[in-house]
Amino acid sequence: MKKLIAANWKMYKCRHDATQTIADLAAGLGRSVPADREIAVFAPFTALAASAEALAAHMPGKAVFLGAQDVYPAVEGAFTGEISPSMLLDCSCRFVLTGHSERRHLLGESREFVGEKTAFALAAGLDVVLCIGETLTEREGGRLEAVLGAQLEAGLANLPRDLEPQRLVFAYEPVWAIGTGRVAGEKEILQAHALARELVKKILPASYAKMRILYGGSVKPDNAAKIIGLDNVDGLLVGGASLQAESFAHIALA
Ligand code: 13P
């Protein structure tokens, strides 16, 4: 299973900056990606088309893929401000994020809505990175298993039949580690990833073992190698440290 190292640019970068970062990333990667790795860049909607062009120009045929940060679960229609799977595919996206904690907590997305998006995007041909993770209060209240279980149960409702395992990726992102500089400890990551794998097994017994589980939350160049070497960690989802090409290239090659 190839490790997936993903950059989540969140609400940063206009077209020029996105294009320049991709050019710098190509230089930082030495214009090639190790055979056991895939890389993804989750750009803001307005920079997707420019990012696709930059990827084609600077890293043609390389294992660097484009992703979007959100999607609406409908083909088209009167959904002001929303974006459809076909619009993302039209911009050369392979991936989309669903269930990011910033959308769950800042924008009030329910677990059920995350599940609708996940199933719809997969059926439409996008590969999905479904994010899960607990708040500090939930962790300290002993509710890690209950929270991840509920997020996975709702997030994986109504999946398309015969889903190829590599099309669905999970990202465990403890909310208390996102953008805080407080990375989860080795024991916490091992425990949560093993738990997530067990919970997915209950829902998708035929394919859980072949699905990737990424870790996200304050990943930096100096901790990436250690985290990616842990059991059940199949890649990284990087926020702040992905904004500079140099630090993201360092993480991608860790
Ligand atoms: P940071 O790497 O900035 O903590 O963000 C993690 C994240 O939310 C990636 O999706």
Q: Give the tens place of pLDDT for each residue, 217-239.
A: 999 999 999 999 999 999 999 99
Per DSSP, the residues of 86-112 read HHHHHTTEEEEEE--HIIIIIS---HH
Query: Is the confidence at residue 100, as pLDDT, over 80?
Result: yes
Q: For a ligand 1 pocket test, name from 4, 5, 10 the mutation site with the most ligand atoms within 8 angstroms of its C-beta.
A: 10
Q: 237 pairs with which residues across the strands?
A: 6, 216
This model's pTM is above 0.95: yes
H or E stretch at 229: none
The proportion of the chain whose per-residue pLDDT surpasses 90, expressed as a percent, equals 91
Amino acid (one-letter) located at 52: A
Check if 16 is active-site. no
DSSP code, position 170: E
The mean per-residue pLDDT over the stretch 206-220 comes to 96
Query: Is 100 among the catalytic positions?
Result: yes
Q: Do the beta carbons of residue 171 and residue 98 sit within 8 Å?
A: no
Q: What is the mean pLDDT of the chain?
A: 96
Share of the chain above pLDDT 70, in %: 100
Instruction: Please name every residue paired with 38 in a beta bridge, in sequence order, or none if there are none.
Output: 4
Between CA 71 and CA 82 the distance in angstroms is: 7
Separation CA 116–CA 96 (nearest Å): 13
Q: Is 171 helix (H, G, I), strand (E, B) or coil?
A: strand
Q: Which residues contact 137 (CB under 8 A, 6 or more apart)?
A: none
pLDDT in tens, 13-54: 999 999 999 999 999 998 678 899 999 999 999 999 999 999
User: 150-188: per-residue pLDDT in tens?
Assistant: 999 999 998 977 899 999 999 999 999 988 888 889 999
Closest CA to 216 of 243, 197, 247, 241: 241
pLDDT tens for each residue of 193-208:
999 999 999 999 999 9
Q: Which atom of ligand 1 is nearest to the CA of 219?
A: 2
CATH class, 3-252 region: alpha beta
pLDDT score for 31: 64
* Helix (H), strand (E) at residue 85: helix 85-90
Ligand 1 lining (C-beta closer than 6 Å): 8, 100, 173, 178-179, 216-219, 237-241
What DSSP state is assigned to residue 5? E
Ligand 1 centroid to 9 CA: how many Å? 9
> Out of 58, 102, 173, 193, which one is annotated catalytic?
173
Cβ atoms of 78 and 133 within 8 Å: the answer is no
- Please enumerate in sequence order all residues whose Cβ is within 8 A of that of 62, keeping only pairs 6 or more positions apart, or say none: 29, 31, 32, 33
Helix, strand, or coil here: 44?
coil
pLDDT at 62: 80
For the record, the structure tokens of 196 come out as 């997530």
